[in-house]
C-alpha cells in the first residue's frame, strides 16, 4: 500500500510536534528533545509548511495550539506510542535487558504500600526498567491513558469508562486515632461523632463514605481537616484528636509506624475494590502485559 503523504514526512518532525504540543514552548520543547532552540524554531517552521497551519500561536509570553494542532495532539500521542513499541520491541519483550519506562497514576497510599514490593521485584528480573508514579487524578484519566501520558491508572473506579480494568484487591475501612484518645473509652457511633475527623479529599470539597452512612442514622461528624494525601494521616492522628477512616491495609501499616491504634468503624461501611485501568492501545503489547502482571503480583 502506498502512502505518498507519509513518504514526504520526516518522522522526527512528528516527534518534535508532540514535544511542542506537550510543552507549549519552543525553548522547553528544545530542552526536552536535547536540541538547540534555533533548531527547534526551524523545525516548527518545517511543520508549519508541512501542515499549512501555524500550529502554535503566540499568546502573551507563551504559545497556544491552533485548532488543527489541538485535533492532532491525542491521535499523534497514541500513534507515536505504538510506533515506539513497534520499533523498540518489534513484538518481543525481554525484561532482563529492556530499558522501558512505565508510567502509573495512583493513590498515594498505593505508592507507600505497594511500590516497595513492585520495585524489589523489578530489581530482580528487570534491573533497567524504570517506573514513573504520579498522583491519581480521576478527571481526565481516560484521556491521559489514551494519549500515552500514563500507562496505568490505579485506584477506586465507579464509572464505566471505555477502558480495560482488572481488580488488584478488595479493601475495607478501618479507623486510626492516637493512643489514649478519649473516644477509645466508649467506642461507638456517638463517641465517634463527638470528636473531629480528618477526611482525605483531593479537591478539598465533598463528603466521604462515612458521612453518607451517618446521615440515615441521624448522625453527623465535624471534619476538622481535609488533606489530599493518605500518608499524612498517621502523623496528624498521632498528634491530635482527629479520627481518620482509611483503608485497613494502610491503617495496619500506620499503627506499626506511628503511635496510633486501629479500630473497626463503629458504623457499617461498605468495602471497595482497588483496580488498575489501561487503554486498548497497550492491551496486547507484550511489555505492558508483563508490567501489569508485576503490578498485580506486588498488590496481591
Tens-digit pLDDT profile for residues 205-215? 778 889 999 99
Measure the CA–CA gap between 260 and 180, rounded to whole angstroms. Answer: 9
User: What pTM does this model have?
Assistant: 0.67
DSSP character for 18?
A: H
Say if residue 107's pLDDT is above 90: no
Measure the CA–CA gap between 131 and 137, rounded to whole angstroms. Answer: 18
What local confidence, expressed as pLDDT, does residue 178 receive?
97
Say if residue 90's pLDDT is above 60: no
**Residue 16 grid cell:** 518534535
pLDDT, averaged across the chain = 88
Topology of 4-88 in CATH?
Arc Repressor Mutant, subunit A (1.10.10)
How many Cα atoms sit within 13 Å of 112 on the Cβ side? 17
What local confidence, expressed as pLDDT, does residue 87 receive?
66
For the chain, give every domain's residue range: 4-88, 101-168+274-299, 173-270
Say if residue 1's pLDDT is above 50: no
Measure the CA–CA gap between 20 and 43, rounded to whole angstroms. Answer: 10
How many Cα atoms sit within 13 Å of 65 on the Cβ side? 17
What local confidence, expressed as pLDDT, does residue 22 receive?
87
Reported as a pLDDT band with limits 50, 70 and 90, residue 259 is: very high
Measure the CA–CA gap between 191 and 64, rounded to whole angstroms. Answer: 55
Percentage of the residues of the chain whose pLDDT score is greater than 70: 93
Say if residue 128's pLDDT is above 70: yes
Reported as a pLDDT band with limits 50, 70 and 90, residue 202 is: confident
Contact in structure between 120 and 296 (CB atoms under 8 Å): no
Tens-digit pLDDT profile for residues 27-70? 888 898 889 989 999 999 998 988 899 998 888 777 888 899 88
What local confidence, expressed as pLDDT, does residue 11 receive?
79
Tens-digit pLDDT profile for residues 14-31? 888 888 888 888 888 889
How many Cα atoms sit within 13 Å of 26 on the Cβ side? 17
Q: Which of 161, 151, 162 is nearest to 106 (CA)?
A: 151
Choose the CATH number for 173-270 among 3.30.540.10, 3.30.750.24, 3.40.630.40, 3.40.190.10. Answer: 3.40.190.10
Measure the CA–CA gap between 175 and 263, rounded to whole angstroms. Answer: 5
Measure the CA–CA gap between 45 and 124, rounded to whole angstroms. Answer: 47
Measure the CA–CA gap between 100 and 92, rounded to whole angstroms. Answer: 12
Highest mean pLDDT among 9-23, 178-192, 193-207: 178-192
Q: Which of 247, 220, 225, 219 is nearest to 237 (CA)?
A: 225
What average pLDDT score do residues 109-116 get? 86
The yes-or-no answer to whether 101-168+274-299 and 173-270 have a common fold is yes
The least confident of 135-149, 164-178, 262-276 is: 135-149
Say if residue 251's pLDDT is above 80: yes
The least confident of 55-69, 249-263, 280-294 is: 55-69
* Element of type H or E holding 272: strand 272-278
What local confidence, expressed as pLDDT, does residue 88 receive?
62
What local confidence, expressed as pLDDT, does residue 158 receive?
79
Reported as a pLDDT band with limits 50, 70 and 90, residue 277 is: very high
Say if residue 7's pLDDT is above 60: no
CATH code for the part of the protein at 101-168+274-299: 3.40.190.10
Amino acid at each position: 500500500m502506498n502512502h505518498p503523504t507519509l513518504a514526504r514526512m520526516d518522522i522526527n518532525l512528528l516527534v518534535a510536534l508532540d514535544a511542542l504540543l506537550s510543552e507549549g514552548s519552543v525553548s522547553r520543547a528544545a530542552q526536552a528533545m536535547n536540541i538547540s532552540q534555533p533548531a527547534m524554531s526551524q523545525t516548527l517552521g518545517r511543520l508549519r509548511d508541512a501542515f499549512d497551519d501555524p500550529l502554535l500561536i503566540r499568546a502573551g509570553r507563551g504559545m497556544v495550539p491552533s485548532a488543527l494542532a489541538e485535533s492532532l495532539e491525542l491521535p499523534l500521542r497514541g500513534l507515536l506510542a505504538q510506533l515506539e513499541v513497534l520499533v523498540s520491541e518489534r513484538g518481543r519483550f525481554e525484561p532482563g535487558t529492556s530499558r522501558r519506562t512505565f508510567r502509573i497514576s495512583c493513590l498515594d497510599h498505593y505508592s507507600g504500600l505497594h511500590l516497595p514490593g513492585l520495585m524489589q521485584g523489578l530489581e530482580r528480573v528487570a534491573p533497567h526498567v524504570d517506573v514513573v508514579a504520579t498522583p491519581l487524578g480521576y478527571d481526565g484519566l481516560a484521556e491521559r491513558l489514551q494519549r500515552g501520558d500514563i500507562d496505568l491508572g490505579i485506584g477506586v473506579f465507579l464509572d464505566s469508562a471505555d477502558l480495560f480494568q482488572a481488580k488488584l484487591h478488595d479493601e475495607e475501612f478501618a479507623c486510626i486515632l492516637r493512643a489514649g484518645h478519649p473516644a477509645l473509652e466508649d467506642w461507638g457511633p456517638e463517641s465517634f461523632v463527638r470528636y473531629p475527623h480528618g477526611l482525605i479529599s483531593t479537591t478539598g470539597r465533598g463528603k466521604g463514605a462515612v458521612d453518607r452512612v451517618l446521615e440515615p442514622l441521624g448522625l453527623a461528624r465535624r471534619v476538622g481537616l481535609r488533606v489530599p494525601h493518605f500518608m499524612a494521616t498517621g502523623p496528624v492522628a498521632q498528634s491530635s484528636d482527629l479520627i481518620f477512616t482509611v483503608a485497613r491495609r494502610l491503617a495496619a501499616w500506620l499503627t506499626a509506624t506511628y503511635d496510633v491504634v486501629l479500630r473497626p468503624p463503629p458504623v457499617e461501611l461498605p468495602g471497595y475494590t482497588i483496580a488498575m485501568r489501561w487503554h486498548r492501545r497497550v492491551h496486547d503489547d507484550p511489555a505492558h502485559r508483563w508490567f501489569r502482571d508485576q503490578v498485580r503480583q506486588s498488590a496481591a
